[in-house]
Amino acid sequence: MVVCDPRRLRQIAFNLMANALKFTDRGRVTLGLRIVDDETLVLEVEDTGVGFPQSKANRLFEPFQQLDGSGARVFEGSGLGLAISHRLTRSLGGVIEARGRPGEGARFTVRIPTKVPAHATPTDTARGERRAAGETPEAVTLSGRILVVDDNDDVRMLIAEYVRAAGGEVVQAASGPAALEILGSDEEVDVILMDVQMPHMDGLETVKILRGRGVNTPVIAVTARALESDRAECIAAGCTDYVPKPVDIPLLLQRIAHLLQGAPSVLIVDDNDDIASLTALNLEQSGFTCATASNGERALARAAEMKPEIVIADLSLGRGIDGFELAAKLRALDSRLMLIALSGASQKREQALEAGFDHFLTKPADFTELITLMTR
């Protein structure tokens, strides 16, 4: 008797067949299934398509990767089907292998032990995978309900799987209108992950409607448009945070955890009031609580008063205490503070780190990079 999760096995077979058909213009695609020694289920999908260099076979199972054998990306798709198949195979205790040659086709072989309990959950198996890989399963733990909005089924499924593996509950929507319907019901959601580029009603339009209805749930925009101006557009539309595609899953989970746990307080120290105000505005729109100080003396007074968890300080503060001296005094007040130095002079990096700063960023600061540091 074969004991295996039929839903996941069916999904693996479907993904491998879809991949083979996409890359095969002529010839054939075959699917084979057999049991070896009453212990191993072997599923094989073989095609006569474009193939790939064997030296790059392992990259096929990485999210958002696509090799077509020609060096140019000419086939549609997200590049997630094989990554999901790899993940599902591992969740069943199996392995997946790929063999191919450019212009001569490819063969994917899945081997799964036949005694895997059919009731094993994706969350349990995902955590088991991370332990097997030597990763820390508690690196990010989520406790909340996350709405994942994306018109691409593969992207939505992959993100949902990782959120569940970290402990979060997931609700899914394949479009802006579907998300509005969910949020207009009694469904409680703690964080929304919103794809920006969707047909008919894009993510930013959806967020504007939500904010117009008084929905204040934090929204993380997920988009392939990765310029700083794109981030500003997302924030202006009402998004709380921004993560570019291809999605860095650990970064995304950190951002979700940050919003679920509540924002830490931040003190921004800069003798340029415009820069301090702009930094505070951007951070507040991403959920942080901010205060500003225009020099070192005022920064020490505000730090004693508000007891911030993070201090972002310019190294050149005009007269009085400079950024280096400020770092030493702040460390004496609270050794647990995260101190981030900002400077237009990149050569001051080592000096800043030696003075007690945890991180150094060159002005003008990239807000995506800044928030990444702050949510680690």
Residues 236, 155 within the same domain: yes
183 within a domain of the structure (yes/no): yes
| Spatial CB neighbours of 86, under 8 Å, sequence gap ≥ 6 | 61, 96
The CATH number linked to 79 is 3.30.565.10
How far apart CA 176 and CA 180 sit, in angstroms, is 6
79 within a domain of the structure (yes/no): yes
Residues 86, 138 within the same domain: no
Residues 89, 48 within the same domain: yes
- State the pLDDT at residue 98: 93
How far apart CA 275 and CA 281 sit, in angstroms, is 10
The CATH number linked to 253 is 3.40.50.2300
Residues 65, 86 within the same domain: yes
1 within a domain of the structure (yes/no): no
The structure tokens listed for 303 are: 């730090």
- State the pLDDT at residue 129: 39
Around Cβ 219, how many Cβ atoms within 10 Å?
A: 28
Number of domains, the chain = 3
Each as own residue / partner, the long-range contacts of residues 285-289 (CB below 8 Å, 24 or more positions apart, any chain) are 285/235, 285/240, 286/235, 286/240, 286/241, 286/367, 286/371, 287/218, 287/240, 287/241, 287/258, 287/259, 287/263, 288/263, 288/264, 288/374, 289/263, 289/264, 289/265
Domain's final residue, options 260, 277, 298: 260
Continuous segment of H or E residues that includes residue 343: strand 338-343
162 within a domain of the structure (yes/no): yes
**Residue in 194, 231, 241, 233 with CA at minimum distance from that of residue 374:** 241
Backbone φ and ψ for 135, nearest 5 degrees, come out as -85, 160
265-269/310-314 β-pairing: parallel
| C-alpha to C-alpha distances, 256 to 25, 80, 151, 227, nearest whole angstrom | 42, 22, 20, 21
Residues 29, 129 within the same domain: no
Strand segments, DSSP code E, in 158-204 are 169-173, 191-195
Residues 333, 290 within the same domain: yes
What is the per-residue DSSP string for 66-118?
Answer: ---SSSS--S-S-S-HHHHHHHHHHHTT-EEEEEEETTTEEEEEEEEETB--T
- State the pLDDT at residue 100: 92
The structure tokens listed for 257 are: 């955890």
Around Cβ 242, how many Cβ atoms within 10 Å?
A: 26
| Spatial CB neighbours of 243, under 8 Å, sequence gap ≥ 6 | 220, 221, 222, 251, 252, 255
Give the residue numbers spanning the domain of 59: 6-113
Residues 22, 152 within the same domain: no
291 within a domain of the structure (yes/no): yes
Residues 128, 226 within the same domain: yes
| C-alpha to C-alpha distances, 219 to 106, 134, 190, nearest whole angstrom | 41, 32, 9
Residues 287, 370 within the same domain: yes
The whole-number mean pLDDT for each consecutive block of 10 residues of the chain, a chain of 376 residues, reads: 70 86 89 88 94 86 56 45 81 89 93 63 40 43 93 87 90 95 88 93 94 89 74 81 81 85 84 84 77 90 86 87 90 87 88 90 81 77
How far apart CA 232 and CA 121 sit, in angstroms, is 39
Domain's final residue, options 205, 234, 260: 260
Tell me, what amino acid is at 278? L
321 within a domain of the structure (yes/no): yes
- State the pLDDT at residue 286: 72
Residue 175 CA to chain centroid, in angstroms? 20
182 within a domain of the structure (yes/no): yes
Residues 106, 214 within the same domain: no
- State the pLDDT at residue 247: 80
- State the pLDDT at residue 145: 94
- State the pLDDT at residue 357: 92
Domain's final residue, options 113, 146, 170: 113
Residues listed for the chain = 376
Residues 94, 171 within the same domain: no
Tell me, what amino acid is at 352? A
- State the pLDDT at residue 118: 43
Residues 143, 98 within the same domain: no
